[in-house]
Amino acid sequence: MRAAMVQQFGGPEQLRLERQPDPMPGAGEVLLAVEAAGVNRADLLIRAGQYHRAAQPPLRLGVEGAGTVVALGAGVTDVAVGQRVVAMGPVNEPGFYAELAVVAAARVTPVPDGVALTTAAALPTAWLSAWYCLRALAELRAGETVLIPAAASGVGSAAVRIAVDAGATVIGTARSAAKADWVRALGAQHALDTATLDSEGLLAEVARLTGGRGVDVVLDTVGGQTFADGLRAVGYAGRVVALANVAVAPSTVDTRDFYPKNVRILGFQLTNLIEHGYDPRPDLTELLDAVAAGRFEVPVDVVFPLAEAAEAHRYLERRANRGKVLLSTDA
């Protein structure tokens, strides 16, 4: 089979297409013919050797993918050969940047008729993270206001859709006027171009838009200064959910920015949550059913051929994307 491999940490040029032996499923596992794989910022950090849980090369990246089951390991009875599924794998196991992938049967979810596998491949990381953070952690309610930094990203765009569906008012940020316009087109009531706003300017705009109250929820996918800004932007009894630090920078936090407001700070990492017992399949099934019913449209920006995995990483590193970036074994 063909696979995009990282033989040593470094830039996108370290992602190279290679021939690898076809894998075989063991007990409790299934073998997928991968049609599409998600490209995530965590992949960029792993490739560069900056991810805190990354194993050592050689590595095959990709924690999410969708395809067709082509073989079953011993003891697998709830998945069938020929079934269309979306799957998630642990960070440090051979991933979905390949034509074939082995994954535990407990990590696959059937894809309903009418949902393209490219759409399904976009859901496990970005959409499931936004779904869980807004619903289970932040407990976002109709009538509340949520601040979503980097709202044109994969997680950010999913969060905009989910928050609007919940009846919330969305303030999204993006680093260009064109991206801010796109965030409004997603349904956000307000979109701020942070290329023209420093931290103080952003906070002033949030205060203006909320009548000085601050927002009820912040979904921070950026880290660094953005997290510190979120603590200042949130209002009384608000919730700040931190689920990434793609800025790869420390956050300078003044505790006076949150404790007098009785703010809750909530951390989230999907892979850790799964390792500690969370079963993502019910939530993924609910998301897939909502997509199949037309309740959600999943923005997929670009689908790169597997052979162009390095270019997909460059594209994401430039922050050029509006929505999800995928790899395809068919392209």
Mean pLDDT over the full length of the chain: 95
CA dihedral 245, 247, 250, 256 (to 10 degrees): -80
- Residues 197-224: what's their mean pLDDT? 96
The SS3 assignment for 229 reads: helix
Whether the predicted pLDDT of 25 surpasses 90: yes
Contact present, 160 and 148 (Cβ < 8 Å):
yes
d(C-alpha 24, C-alpha 87), whole Å? 16
pTM of the model: 0.93
Residue of higher predicted confidence among 319 and 16:
16
pLDDT digits (tens, 9 = 90+) for 183-199: 999 999 999 999 999 99
Which is it for strands 84-88 and 108-110: parallel, antiparallel or unpaired? Answer: antiparallel
pLDDT digits (tens, 9 = 90+) for 62-82: 999 999 999 999 999 999 999
Whether the predicted pLDDT of 246 surpasses 90: no
- Residues 256-280: what's their mean pLDDT? 93
pLDDT digits (tens, 9 = 90+) for 84-97: 999 998 877 889 99
Confidence label for 331 from pLDDT (cuts 50, 70 and 90): low
Whether the predicted pLDDT of 157 surpasses 80: yes
- Residues 162-168: what's their mean pLDDT? 98
Token digits of residue 298: 């999943």
The SS3 assignment for 299 reads: coil
Of residues 227, 173, 233, the one with CA closest to residue 203: 233
Confidence label for 251 from pLDDT (cuts 50, 70 and 90): confident
